[in-house]
């Protein structure tokens, strides 16, 4: 990565970021905490924050405006005891099972190039990229200077069957799927780093277009997505990946990560948001506004 | 890239004056920066806009962003066609990709909008070659979407 990126605004004392290591939680809680931090950063209460978390039980998350249609099998999700939640960010459905999830909440001025969408993706992704490099995985953004090779193999999907230009690709397959939302000069970027991908499980809950043979859909996803363990060639524990990602962020973005807890305000907002928004059917099942208007 | 007859807001909106009505859209700079727009959420007729505050959302290839009001006023109509075909925002940001028409409040902030030159300076206008490369990249991405997992993309 080059160093020609624009001036870096101070991100707190000596470039200090808060590191929040959350206990595994359900989908509503996980999304609520991300939004609570987002709100706290907007109000100047919270410092730039890297949060690392996992999902228990596993859950399917939908993009902010994604239709909840037949390509998402709600009865299969419920039958497995999995959760279903709608994210505040865009993009497509993800099954969060055996994975590490990260979220970064910063002001646009906290990161180099923060005001521009792709530049901010590039900057924030450098942390994950370096973290993966510590495990021996060479990953790069889906396109943009990497040539067409990486993109050509990447297939469209429900999130992990297609690599977009802001996703990290390794060995021609998507290994990190990320999404952003921005409001009032604050960025929330979160993303999913699967350790392993269970294709049967994934296609059961996110079948995609059922008019295509299962074998074809299976092959497409297998060719398009990969977990960290397969890339590394050995079992990698969540803690090991988490440690590598932390180190990657600290070094790549040149920040000091200080372990911290959520602020009382963030806790209160997270509880409220989990109960009234992310845990509510109205939010999860909401049809896109254009359908409402019809 | 930035028509001279329009006024601009730092939040990447453009404004076209037509008598008492103001048409509002997203600048080409922002449309290019976002990449393919896949969804737009717009306020309905009668909604009140407050300058510098979010009035809607736009989802592009990978981000959900606020649409920020360039002026204060009342929504007269919204572009229903763009709700069904949000990619029009990329294709014709200053034409068919307009978003809403508002009737501005008397001191709604119209006078403090930027000229094309001022807005160009604000965003640090990219050169033409960069724009062409971006477009080619977008087309290449679109070409890949043949499987149809996401028909609405």
**Structural domain includes residue B78:** yes
- As for how many domains chain A has, the answer is 1
Cα–Cα distance, A63 to B106 (Å, whole number): 39
SS3 of residue A232 by DSSP? helix
* Percent of the residues in chain A that have a pLDDT greater than 90, as a whole number: 73
Indicate whether A30 belongs to any domain.
Answer: yes
CA dist., res. B65 & res. B50, Å (int): 17
Query: Mutate which of A6, A148, A164, A212 to test chain B, going by most B C-beta atoms within 10 A?
Result: A164
- Judged by CB atoms closer than 8 Å, whether chains meet at B144 and A156 is answered as yes
Provide the percentage of residues in chain B whose pLDDT is more than 70. Answer: 81
* CATH number where B131 lies: 2.40.50.100
**Domain that includes residue A280, residue range:** 14-140+178-200+239-284
Q: What is the pLDDT of residues A177-217, one digit of tens each?
A: 999 999 989 999 999 999 999 999 999 999 988 889 999 99
Report the mean per-residue pLDDT for chain A.
Answer: 87
Q: Identify whether A149 is part of a domain.
A: no
pLDDT above 90 for A96: yes
| B56 found inside a domain | yes
Domain ranges, residue B64: 7-141
* B150 in any annotated domain: no
Interface predicted TM-score of the whole assembly (ipTM), two decimals: 0.75
* Structural domain contains residue B152: no
Contacts of A76 (CB under 8 A, 6+ apart): A204, A205, A207
Domain-located, residue B39: yes
pTM for this prediction: 0.83
In a domain, A165, yes or no: no
For residues A136 and A67, give the distance between their C-alpha atoms in angstroms, rounded to a whole number: 37
Q: Residue B112 pLDDT more than 50?
A: yes
Which residue in A63, A117, A158 is closest to B149 by CB distance?
Answer: A158
How far is it, in rounded angstroms, from Cα A142 to Cα A196? 20
Specify if A289 maps to a domain: no
User: Which listed residue (A32, A50, A159, A176) is catalytic?
Assistant: A159
pLDDT tier, A287 (very low <50, low <70, confident <90, very high otherwise): low
CA angle A183, A189, A192 (to 5 degrees): 150
Nearest chain B alpha carbon to A293:
B44
Q: Which of residues 10-49 of A touch B (CB under 8 A)?
A: none
In tens, the pLDDT along B3-55 reads 999 999 999 999 999 988 999 999 999 998 888 899 999 999 999 999 999 99
B1 in a structural domain: no
C-alpha dihedral sign at B51, B19, B85, B93: negative
Residue that wins the pLDDT comparison between A1 and A192: A192
- pLDDT, tens digit, for every residue of A120-157? 999 999 999 999 999 999 999 876 433 333 333 333 44
Taking the Cβ of residue B130 and every Cβ of chain A, the question of whether any pair is shorter than 8 Å is answered with no
Residue A33 has phi, psi (to 5 degrees) of -65, -40
CATH code for the domain of A194: 3.30.930.10
Q: Is residue B151 part of a domain?
A: no
Are β-strands A186-194 and A99-107 bridged in parallel, bridged antiparallel, or unpaired?
A: antiparallel
A157 domain residue, yes or no: no
Could you give the percent of chain A with pLDDT greater than 70? 85
Which value, to the nearest 10 degrees, does the dihedral of the CA atoms of residues A269, A272, A278, A279 take? 150
Helix (H, G, I), strand (E, B) or coil at A168: strand
Answer whether B39 sits within 8 Å of A90, measured CB to CB. Answer: yes
- Which helix (H) or strand (E) segment is A172 a member of? none
d(CA A53, CA A99): 9
- Residue B106 in domain: yes
- Contact by Cβ (8 Å): A148, B141: no
| 8 A C-beta contact, residue B40 and residue B98 | no
Provide the number of structural domains found in chain B: 1
């Amino acid at each position: 990565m080059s160093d020609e990126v624009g001036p870096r605004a101070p991100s707190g004392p000596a470039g200090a970021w808060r590191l929040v290591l959350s206990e595994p939680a359900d989908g509503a809680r996980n999304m609520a905490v991300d939004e609570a931090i987002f709100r706290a950063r907007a109000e100047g209460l919270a410092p730039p924050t890297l949060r690392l978390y996992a999902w228990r039980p596993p859950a399917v998350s939908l993009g902010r405006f994604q239709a909840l249609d037949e390509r998402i099998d709600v009865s299969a999700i419920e039958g497995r005891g999995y959760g279903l939640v709608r994210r505040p960010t865009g993009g497509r459905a993800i099954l969060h099972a055996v994975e590490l999830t990260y979220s970064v909440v910063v002001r646009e001025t906290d990161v180099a190039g923060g005001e521009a969408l792709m530049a901010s993706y590039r900057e924030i992704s450098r942390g994950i990229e370096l973290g993966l490099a510590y495990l021996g995985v060479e990953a790069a953004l889906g396109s943009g200077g990497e040539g067409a090779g990486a993109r050509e193999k990447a297939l469209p999907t429900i999130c992990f069957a297609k690599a977009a230009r802001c996703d990290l690709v390794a060995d021609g397959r998507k290994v990190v799927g990320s999404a952003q939302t921005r409001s009032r000069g604050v960025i929330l970027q979160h993303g999913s780093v699967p350790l392993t991908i269970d294709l049967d499980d994934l296609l059961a809950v996110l079948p995609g277009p059922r008019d295509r043979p299962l074998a074809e859909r299976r092959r497409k996803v297998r060719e398009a997505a990969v977990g960290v363990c397969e890339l590394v060639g050995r079992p990698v524990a969540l803690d090991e990946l988490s440690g590598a990602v932390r180190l990657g962020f600290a070094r790549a973005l040149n920040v000091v990560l200080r372990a911290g807890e959520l602020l009382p305000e963030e806790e209160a907002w997270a509880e409220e948001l989990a109960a009234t928004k992310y845990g509510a059917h109205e939010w999860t099942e909401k049809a896109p506004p254009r359908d409402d208007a019809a | 890239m930035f028509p001279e007859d329009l006024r601009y807001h730092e939040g990447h909106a453009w404004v076209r004056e037509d008598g008492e009505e103001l048409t509002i859209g997203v600048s080409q700079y922002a449309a290019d920066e976002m990449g393919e727009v896949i969804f737009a959420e717009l306020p309905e007729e009668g909604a009140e806009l407050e300058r510098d505050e979010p009035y809607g959302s736009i989802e592009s290839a990978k981000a959900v962003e606020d649409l920020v009001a360039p002026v204060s006023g009342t929504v007269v109509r919204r572009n229903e066609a763009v709700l069904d075909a949000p990619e029009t925002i990329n294709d014709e940001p200053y034409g068919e990709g307009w978003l809403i028409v508002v009737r501005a409040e008397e001191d709604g902030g119209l006078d403090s909008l930027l000229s094309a030159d001022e807005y160009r300076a604000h965003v640090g206008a990219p050169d033409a070659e960069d724009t062409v490369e971006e477009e080619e990249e977008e087309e290449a991405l679109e070409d890949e979407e043949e499987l149809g997992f996401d028909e609405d993309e």
